[in-house]
Protein backbone atom coordinates (compact mmCIF):
# COMPACT_ATOMS: atom_id res chain seq x y z
CA UNK A 1 0.00 0.00 0.00
CA UNK A 2 1.13 3.55 -0.74
CA UNK A 3 -0.07 6.21 1.65
CA UNK A 4 -0.46 9.74 0.31
CA UNK A 5 0.37 12.55 2.72
CA UNK A 6 -0.78 15.90 1.36
CA UNK A 7 1.75 18.16 3.08
CA UNK A 8 5.41 18.17 4.19
CA UNK A 9 4.51 18.47 7.89
CA UNK A 10 2.72 15.12 7.87
CA UNK A 11 5.48 13.58 5.74
CA UNK A 12 8.16 14.75 8.19
CA UNK A 13 6.25 13.19 11.10
CA UNK A 14 5.85 9.87 9.20
CA UNK A 15 9.57 9.71 8.30
CA UNK A 16 10.67 10.55 11.81
CA UNK A 17 8.36 7.92 13.30
CA UNK A 18 9.67 5.27 10.88
CA UNK A 19 13.29 6.11 11.73
CA UNK A 20 12.47 5.79 15.43
CA UNK A 21 11.20 2.30 14.64
CA UNK A 22 14.66 1.59 13.19
CA UNK A 23 13.64 1.70 9.51
CA UNK A 24 15.91 3.08 6.78
CA UNK A 25 14.35 5.32 4.14
CA UNK A 26 15.11 5.55 0.42
CA UNK A 27 13.78 8.81 -0.98
CA UNK A 28 13.10 9.95 -4.56
CA UNK A 29 12.12 13.56 -5.26
CA UNK A 30 10.07 13.92 -8.48
CA UNK A 31 7.81 16.32 -10.30
CA UNK A 32 5.36 13.54 -11.18
CA UNK A 33 4.24 12.39 -14.66
CA UNK A 34 6.10 9.25 -13.71
CA UNK A 35 7.73 7.00 -16.30
CA UNK A 36 10.08 4.02 -16.27
CA UNK A 37 13.04 6.30 -15.48
CA UNK A 38 11.44 7.36 -12.20
CA UNK A 39 10.31 3.81 -11.49
CA UNK A 40 13.87 2.49 -11.85
CA UNK A 41 14.94 4.88 -9.07
CA UNK A 42 12.04 3.66 -6.93
CA UNK A 43 12.96 0.02 -7.52
CA UNK A 44 16.58 0.67 -6.54
CA UNK A 45 15.52 2.63 -3.44
CA UNK A 46 13.07 -0.11 -2.43
CA UNK A 47 15.76 -2.79 -2.78
CA UNK A 48 18.38 -0.90 -0.73
CA UNK A 49 16.20 0.41 2.13
CA UNK A 50 13.42 -0.76 4.45
CA UNK A 51 11.02 1.89 3.16
CA UNK A 52 10.65 3.89 -0.02
CA UNK A 53 9.29 7.41 -0.05
CA UNK A 54 8.58 9.66 -3.07
CA UNK A 55 7.63 13.31 -3.30
CA UNK A 56 5.66 14.80 -6.18
CA UNK A 57 5.92 18.54 -6.48
CA UNK A 58 6.10 20.61 -9.66
CA UNK A 59 8.48 23.19 -8.29
CA UNK A 60 7.76 26.62 -9.78
CA UNK A 61 11.14 27.92 -8.52
CA UNK A 62 13.03 25.84 -11.07
CA UNK A 63 11.06 26.89 -14.16
CA UNK A 64 12.62 29.82 -15.94
CA UNK A 65 10.02 29.42 -18.73
CA UNK A 66 6.41 30.00 -17.58
CA UNK A 67 4.98 28.20 -20.60
CA UNK A 68 7.00 25.09 -19.66
CA UNK A 69 5.55 25.29 -16.12
CA UNK A 70 1.97 25.77 -17.38
CA UNK A 71 2.19 22.82 -19.76
CA UNK A 72 4.11 20.46 -17.45
CA UNK A 73 2.14 17.13 -17.46
CA UNK A 74 0.36 16.31 -14.17
CA UNK A 75 -1.78 13.29 -13.23
CA UNK A 76 -1.58 12.51 -9.52
CA UNK A 77 -4.04 9.57 -9.53
CA UNK A 78 -2.12 7.70 -12.25
CA UNK A 79 1.18 8.45 -10.49
CA UNK A 80 -0.08 7.08 -7.16
CA UNK A 81 -1.28 3.90 -8.89
CA UNK A 82 2.18 3.46 -10.50
CA UNK A 83 3.85 4.05 -7.12
CA UNK A 84 1.62 1.46 -5.48
CA UNK A 85 2.62 -1.13 -8.10
CA UNK A 86 6.32 -0.20 -7.75
CA UNK A 87 6.31 -0.84 -3.98
CA UNK A 88 6.52 2.76 -2.75
CA UNK A 89 5.36 3.08 0.88
CA UNK A 90 4.67 6.80 1.14
CA UNK A 91 4.21 9.65 -1.33
CA UNK A 92 3.91 13.23 -0.25
CA UNK A 93 2.82 16.34 -2.05
CA UNK A 94 2.81 19.98 -1.02
CA UNK A 95 2.48 23.60 -2.00
CA UNK A 96 4.94 26.47 -2.00
CA UNK A 97 3.40 27.80 1.24
CA UNK A 98 3.69 24.33 2.77
CA UNK A 99 7.40 24.13 1.97
CA UNK A 100 8.16 27.78 2.77
CA UNK A 101 5.75 28.69 5.60
CA UNK A 102 7.88 31.73 6.51
CA UNK A 103 7.07 33.67 3.30
CA UNK A 104 3.89 35.30 2.07
CA UNK A 105 4.74 35.00 -1.62
CA UNK A 106 7.22 33.19 -3.80
CA UNK A 107 9.37 36.29 -4.43
CA UNK A 108 10.31 36.37 -0.74
CA UNK A 109 12.01 32.97 -0.78
CA UNK A 110 15.65 33.36 0.15
CA UNK A 111 18.12 32.78 -2.70
CA UNK A 112 20.72 30.16 -1.81
CA UNK A 113 24.28 29.72 -2.99
CA UNK A 114 23.91 26.54 -5.01
CA UNK A 115 27.65 26.02 -5.39
CA UNK A 116 30.20 26.00 -8.23
CA UNK A 117 28.55 23.16 -10.18
CA UNK A 118 25.49 25.30 -10.85
CA UNK A 119 27.51 27.66 -13.08
CA UNK A 120 27.80 27.06 -16.81
CA UNK A 121 25.77 24.77 -19.14
CA UNK A 122 22.29 24.58 -17.50
CA UNK A 123 23.29 27.59 -15.39
CA UNK A 124 23.93 29.61 -18.56
CA UNK A 125 20.89 28.53 -20.57
CA UNK A 126 18.36 28.22 -17.73
CA UNK A 127 19.30 31.03 -15.38
CA UNK A 128 17.88 30.41 -11.90
CA UNK A 129 16.93 26.80 -12.66
CA UNK A 130 19.55 25.02 -10.55
CA UNK A 131 19.19 27.61 -7.79
CA UNK A 132 15.46 26.78 -7.78
CA UNK A 133 16.28 23.08 -7.59
CA UNK A 134 18.63 23.74 -4.68
CA UNK A 135 16.02 25.82 -2.82
CA UNK A 136 13.35 23.13 -3.00
CA UNK A 137 15.58 20.07 -2.54
CA UNK A 138 16.91 21.62 0.66
CA UNK A 139 13.32 21.71 1.98
CA UNK A 140 12.52 18.25 0.60
CA UNK A 141 15.60 16.80 2.33
CA UNK A 142 14.72 18.62 5.55
CA UNK A 143 11.24 17.07 5.37
CA UNK A 144 12.44 13.49 4.93
CA UNK A 145 15.53 13.76 7.16
CA UNK A 146 18.30 11.17 7.24
CA UNK A 147 17.94 8.93 4.18
CA UNK A 148 19.44 7.71 0.94
CA UNK A 149 18.24 10.02 -1.82
CA UNK A 150 18.09 8.71 -5.39
CA UNK A 151 18.67 10.90 -8.46
CA UNK A 152 18.97 10.08 -12.18
CA UNK A 153 22.23 10.60 -14.03
CA UNK A 154 20.06 12.01 -16.84
CA UNK A 155 20.15 15.32 -14.95
CA UNK A 156 23.91 15.14 -14.48
CA UNK A 157 24.51 18.75 -13.43
CA UNK A 158 21.63 18.49 -10.95
CA UNK A 159 23.34 15.50 -9.30
CA UNK A 160 26.44 17.66 -8.72
CA UNK A 161 24.35 20.42 -7.17
CA UNK A 162 22.45 18.07 -4.83
CA UNK A 163 25.70 16.39 -3.77
CA UNK A 164 26.99 19.84 -2.82
CA UNK A 165 23.76 20.46 -0.87
CA UNK A 166 23.98 17.08 0.92
CA UNK A 167 27.57 17.90 1.93
CA UNK A 168 26.44 21.23 3.39
CA UNK A 169 23.51 19.63 5.23
CA UNK A 170 25.85 17.01 6.67
CA UNK A 171 27.82 19.81 8.32
CA UNK A 172 24.52 20.81 9.96
CA UNK A 173 24.00 17.24 11.19
CA UNK A 174 21.65 15.80 8.56
CA UNK A 175 22.92 12.63 6.88
CA UNK A 176 21.71 12.44 3.30
CA UNK A 177 23.52 9.99 1.03
CA UNK A 178 23.03 10.88 -2.65
CA UNK A 179 22.82 7.83 -4.94
CA UNK A 180 23.09 8.45 -8.70
CA UNK A 181 21.24 5.92 -10.90
CA UNK A 182 21.67 5.11 -14.61
CA UNK A 183 19.57 6.82 -17.28
CA UNK A 184 16.68 4.72 -18.58
CA UNK A 185 16.20 4.97 -22.34
CA UNK A 186 13.60 4.16 -24.98
CA UNK A 187 14.62 1.37 -27.39
CA UNK A 188 15.66 4.19 -29.77
CA UNK A 189 18.19 5.43 -27.21
CA UNK A 190 16.14 8.54 -26.34
CA UNK A 191 16.37 9.23 -22.60
CA UNK A 192 12.96 8.86 -20.97
CA UNK A 193 11.52 12.18 -19.85
CA UNK A 194 8.13 13.51 -18.79
CA UNK A 195 8.55 16.10 -21.57
CA UNK A 196 8.79 13.41 -24.31
CA UNK A 197 4.97 13.22 -24.35
CA UNK A 198 5.02 16.63 -26.06
CA UNK A 199 7.03 15.33 -29.05
CA UNK A 200 5.36 14.47 -32.37
CA UNK A 201 6.20 11.21 -34.15
CA UNK A 202 8.50 13.16 -36.49
CA UNK A 203 10.21 14.89 -33.57
CA UNK A 204 10.68 11.54 -31.78
CA UNK A 205 12.56 10.37 -34.87
CA UNK A 206 14.82 13.45 -34.87
CA UNK A 207 15.34 13.17 -31.10
CA UNK A 208 17.25 9.90 -31.67
CA UNK A 209 20.15 12.02 -32.95
CA UNK A 210 20.91 13.11 -29.38
CA UNK A 211 21.84 9.62 -28.19
CA UNK A 212 23.53 8.90 -31.52
CA UNK A 213 25.71 11.96 -31.00
CA UNK A 214 26.62 10.88 -27.45
CA UNK A 215 27.38 7.36 -28.70
CA UNK A 216 29.63 8.75 -31.46
CA UNK A 217 31.60 10.63 -28.80
CA UNK A 218 31.96 7.39 -26.86
CA UNK A 219 33.29 5.60 -29.96
CA UNK A 220 35.78 8.42 -30.50
CA UNK A 221 36.83 8.16 -26.84
CA UNK A 222 37.36 4.43 -27.25
CA UNK A 223 39.60 5.20 -30.24
CA UNK A 224 41.75 7.35 -27.97
CA UNK A 225 40.46 10.92 -28.51
CA UNK A 226 40.78 12.77 -25.19
CA UNK A 227 40.48 16.48 -26.08
CA UNK A 228 37.10 18.01 -25.14
CA UNK A 229 36.88 20.41 -28.10
CA UNK A 230 37.61 17.64 -30.64
CA UNK A 231 34.97 15.36 -29.10
CA UNK A 232 32.47 18.25 -29.11
CA UNK A 233 33.05 18.87 -32.84
CA UNK A 234 32.41 15.20 -33.57
CA UNK A 235 29.15 15.37 -31.59
CA UNK A 236 27.95 18.55 -33.31
CA UNK A 237 28.39 16.93 -36.75
CA UNK A 238 25.91 14.18 -35.80
CA UNK A 239 23.37 16.72 -34.49
CA UNK A 240 23.27 18.66 -37.76
CA UNK A 241 19.50 18.71 -38.45
CA UNK A 242 17.35 21.71 -39.34
CA UNK A 243 14.74 20.94 -36.64
CA UNK A 244 17.22 20.54 -33.79
CA UNK A 245 18.28 23.76 -32.09
CA UNK A 246 21.41 23.04 -30.05
CA UNK A 247 21.94 24.95 -26.81
CA UNK A 248 25.14 23.25 -25.79
CA UNK A 249 27.30 20.29 -26.65
CA UNK A 250 29.92 19.81 -23.98
CA UNK A 251 32.56 17.35 -22.82
CA UNK A 252 33.57 17.90 -19.23
CA UNK A 253 35.60 16.37 -16.42
CA UNK A 254 32.93 14.71 -14.21
CA UNK A 255 35.14 14.96 -11.14
CA UNK A 256 36.01 18.65 -11.41
CA UNK A 257 34.40 21.20 -9.13
CA UNK A 258 33.23 23.32 -12.04
CA UNK A 259 31.89 22.61 -15.51
CA UNK A 260 34.43 24.75 -17.37
CA UNK A 261 35.76 23.21 -20.57
CA UNK A 262 39.12 21.59 -19.76
CA UNK A 263 41.98 22.38 -22.16
CA UNK A 264 44.09 19.36 -21.14
CA UNK A 265 43.50 15.76 -22.29
CA UNK A 266 40.87 14.09 -20.08
CA UNK A 267 41.20 10.89 -18.05
CA UNK A 268 37.46 10.73 -17.42
CA UNK A 269 34.76 12.52 -19.36
CA UNK A 270 31.03 13.24 -19.40
CA UNK A 271 29.47 14.25 -22.72
CA UNK A 272 26.38 16.45 -22.37
CA UNK A 273 23.80 17.87 -24.78
CA UNK A 274 20.89 20.29 -24.46
CA UNK A 275 18.73 20.98 -27.52
CA UNK A 276 15.27 22.16 -28.48
CA UNK A 277 12.93 20.26 -30.76
CA UNK A 278 10.17 22.75 -31.47
CA UNK A 279 9.33 24.17 -28.04
CA UNK A 280 10.47 21.06 -26.15
CA UNK A 281 13.86 21.21 -24.47
CA UNK A 282 15.71 17.90 -24.17
CA UNK A 283 18.86 17.13 -22.20
CA UNK A 284 20.97 14.00 -22.09
CA UNK A 285 24.50 12.87 -21.23
CA UNK A 286 26.69 9.80 -20.96
CA UNK A 287 29.99 8.92 -19.32
CA UNK A 288 32.56 8.33 -22.05
CA UNK A 289 35.10 6.37 -19.99
CA UNK A 290 32.84 3.48 -18.90
P1 LIG B 1 11.81 14.85 -12.49
O2 LIG B 1 10.46 14.34 -12.15
O3 LIG B 1 12.01 15.13 -13.96
O4 LIG B 1 12.24 16.00 -11.60
O5 LIG B 1 12.82 13.67 -12.18
C6 LIG B 1 12.90 13.08 -10.91
C7 LIG B 1 14.12 12.21 -10.84
O8 LIG B 1 14.03 11.20 -11.85
C9 LIG B 1 15.42 13.00 -11.14
O10 LIG B 1 16.44 12.56 -10.26
C11 LIG B 1 15.72 12.62 -12.56
O12 LIG B 1 17.10 12.70 -12.90
C13 LIG B 1 15.23 11.19 -12.60
N14 LIG B 1 14.98 10.78 -13.98
C15 LIG B 1 14.25 11.42 -14.92
N16 LIG B 1 14.31 10.78 -16.10
C17 LIG B 1 15.10 9.70 -15.91
C18 LIG B 1 15.56 8.64 -16.76
N19 LIG B 1 15.22 8.56 -18.03
N20 LIG B 1 16.38 7.70 -16.21
C21 LIG B 1 16.74 7.76 -14.91
N22 LIG B 1 16.34 8.74 -14.06
C23 LIG B 1 15.53 9.69 -14.56
Per the annotation, the verdict on 38 as an active-site residue is: yes
C-beta neighbour count of 214 within 10 angstroms: 24
Question: What lines the ligand 1 site, CB under 6 Å?
Answer: 30-31, 37-38, 40-41, 151-152, 154-155, 181, 183-184, 191-194
Tell me if 98 sits within 8 A of 34, measured CB to CB.
Answer: no
Is the predicted pLDDT of residue 84 greater than 90, yes or no?
Answer: yes
Nearest to 251 by CA among 276, 230, 237: 230
Atom of ligand 1 nearest to the CA of 194: 3
The average confidence (pLDDT) of the chain is 96
How remote is the CA of residue 160 from the centroid of ligand 1, in Å?
Answer: 14
Tell me if 33 sits within 8 A of 73, measured CB to CB.
Answer: yes
In this prediction, residue 171 carries a pLDDT of: 87
The dotted CATH code for 194-287 is: 3.30.1300.10
16-33 tens-digit pLDDT: 999 999 999 999 999 999
Is the predicted pLDDT of residue 200 greater than 90, yes or no?
Answer: yes
Residue of minimum CA distance from atom 17 in ligand 1: 37
Q: Provide, rounded to the nearest whole percent, the portion of the chain with pLDDT above 90.
A: 93
87-116 tens-digit pLDDT: 999 999 999 999 999 999 999 999 989 999
Q: Which CATH class is domain 3-181?
A: alpha beta
How remote is the CA of residue 39 from the centroid of ligand 1, in Å?
Answer: 9
What's 148-170 look like in SS3? EEEEEHHHHHHHHHHHHHHHHHH
Domain with CATH 3.40.50.620 in the chain: 3-181
Provide the pLDDT confidence category of residue 168 given band limits of 50, 70 and 90. very high
**What pTM value is reported for the model?**
0.97
Tell me if 128 sits within 8 A of 136, measured CB to CB.
Answer: no
130-155 tens-digit pLDDT: 999 999 999 999 999 999 999 999 99
Is the predicted pLDDT of residue 172 greater than 90, yes or no?
Answer: no
Domain with CATH 3.30.1300.10 in the chain: 194-287
Amino acid sequence: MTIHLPNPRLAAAWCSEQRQLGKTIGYIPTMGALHQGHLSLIQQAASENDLCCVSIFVNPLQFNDLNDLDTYPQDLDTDIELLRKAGCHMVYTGTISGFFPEVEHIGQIETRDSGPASKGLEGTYRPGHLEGVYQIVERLFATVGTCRAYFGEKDFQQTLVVKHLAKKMKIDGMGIEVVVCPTVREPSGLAMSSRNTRLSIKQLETAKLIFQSLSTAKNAWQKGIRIASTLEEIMIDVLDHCELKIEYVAVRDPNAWTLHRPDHPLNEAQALIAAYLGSTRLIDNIRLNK
